[in-house]
Chains A and B, each alone.
Chain A
Amino acid sequence: GENVEQHPSTLSVQEGDSAVIKCTYSDSASNYFPWYKQELGKGPQLIIDIRSNVGEKKDQRIAVTLNKTAKHFSLHITETQPEDSAVYFCATTVGQLTFGKGTKLSVIP
């Protein structure tokens, strides 16, 4: 089945700096790549997604890039704020979602 690797597992940045989280996947049939943010005690919240016919997508301070040849995609958060602190998950889909193990992002004020 699909295998999704996510790095780093933890990330600490100063408020205002950028954060980058990277994921690789194994199944070349994957065609949908969402990113979720999970705060303590809550379910995952979809923050941005990209489909295989697009290389990059941006929504305000958040952007996602996709390289299908290399089978990797990344989440970029600019001008980080304390409220960005959470666990972030990448996922791919071939039928159903397969998640990475998550990245705990801490934004230090």
Chain B
Amino acid sequence: DAGVTQSPTHLIKTRGQHVTLRCSPISGHKSVSWYQQVLGQGPQFIFQYYEKEERGRGNFPDRFSARQFPNYSSELNVNALLLGDSALYLCASSSGLAGNNEQFFGPGTRLTVL
């Protein structure tokens, strides 16, 4: 069975640009969460979507947005990129909304902002 998939694997952007990252959850999973992992730190929660609705948001600026599609795949958008946005962006899927559901992570998208 396929796990969580993310695209692209790597991405290089310049300051001020916009980026879109994509995620496909495990088949049957309806919840997708996005995390930012800066080098040397643990992942930090950005968004959770369940049944196409935003169900949670972390402490990130409005430049970050996301959406979930009818097939439960998801996109993370970041506008007006800053150098500090350079990080590994992780997508995780789970079967339900409850916080104690197991979350399974994809390999991530490595974003470099120059």
Contacts and interface: CB of A to CB of B under 8 A. Distances in A.
Q: Do chains A and B stick together as partners?
A: yes
Contacts of B107: 41-43
Nearest to A1: B59
A94 B45 CA distance: 12
A93 B99 contact: yes
Contact of A101 (B41, B45, B99): B41
A102 B41 contact: yes
Contact of A95 (B35, B41, B99, B102): B99
B56 A95 contact: yes
Interface residues on A, range: 20 to 34
A44 B42 CA distance: 10
Nearest to A92: B99
Interface residues of B, number: 24
A73 interface: no
Given A43-B90, A44-B43, 12 more contacts: A4-B42, A32-B99, A34-B103, A43-B4, A43-B106, A44-B90, A95-B56, A96-B45, A97-B43, A101-B41, A102-B40, A102-B41
14 contacts: A1-B59, A43-B90, A43-B105, A43-B107, A51-B100, A95-B99, A96-B33, A96-B48, A96-B56, A97-B43, A97-B92, A97-B99, A101-B40, A102-B41
Interface of A: 1, 4, 6, 31-32, 34, 36, 41-46, 49, 51, 89, 91, 93-102
A-B complex: 5 closest residue pairs judged by Cβ atoms:
A99-B42, A32-B100, A43-B105, A93-B99, A96-B45
